[in-house]
Amino acid sequence: MSEESRWLNEVVWDEQGLVPAIAQDFETGEVLMFAWMNREALGLTAEKGEAVYWSRSRRKLWHKGEESGHIQKVREIRMDCDGDVILLKIEQVGGIACHTGRRSCFFQRHLDGGGWEEADPVLKDPAEIYPRK
């Protein structure tokens, strides 16, 4: 194993070989999204300087923005005290992190009476972001 990849051994991977990853705006601290990474995704993220995740539903690597153009430029990679969560401090290209066309995936706010409301606007129609092929 190369010295360059030894740092990946310090990550506590779950039984599927994954670690949770949080994408946070490096300037504002706003949490934009949550995803999963495997060893290869985290290694590529560090190498490319752009976020690469593991899609559990598609069972493949997912370079954030590969379809939408909304890439995440990684400014810093951090790991929590237990070694089992990754924090990516990123610059969100295009200002949209969510596939719904919003800035953040965390746009739903809980109401006191129960239920949820959409608290943040759609910045771009998803049909424009992901045109049918």
**Average pLDDT score over the chain:** 95
Please state, in angstroms and rounded to a whole number, the distance separating the CA atoms of residues 121 and 18: 32
Q: What is the pLDDT of residue 131?
A: 84
Average pLDDT over residues 72-89: 98
Q: What is the pLDDT of residue 2?
A: 60
Phi, psi (degrees; rounded to nearest 5) at 34 = -130, 140
Average pLDDT over residues 5-27: 96
- Strand-strand pairing, 18-25 and 86-92: parallel
Domains of the chain, residue spans: 3-95
Out of 4-13, 25-34, 42-51, 124-133, pick the least confident.
124-133
Phi, psi (degrees; rounded to nearest 5) at 90 = -130, 160
Q: What is the pLDDT of residue 64?
A: 97
Average pLDDT over residues 64-78: 96
Check whether domain 3-95 has CATH 3.20.20.140, yes or no: no
Sheet holding 31-38, edge to edge: 60-63, 52-55, 31-38, 18-25, 86-92, 72-79
62 against 2, higher pLDDT: 62
Phi, psi (degrees; rounded to nearest 5) at 46 = -65, -40
Residue 54 burial class via C-beta count within 10 angstroms: exposed 0-12, middle 13-18, buried 19 and up: buried
Please state, in angstroms and rounded to a whole number, the distance separating the CA atoms of residues 85 and 82: 8
- Convert the pLDDT of each residue in 87-112 to its tens digit: 999 999 999 999 999 999 999 999 98
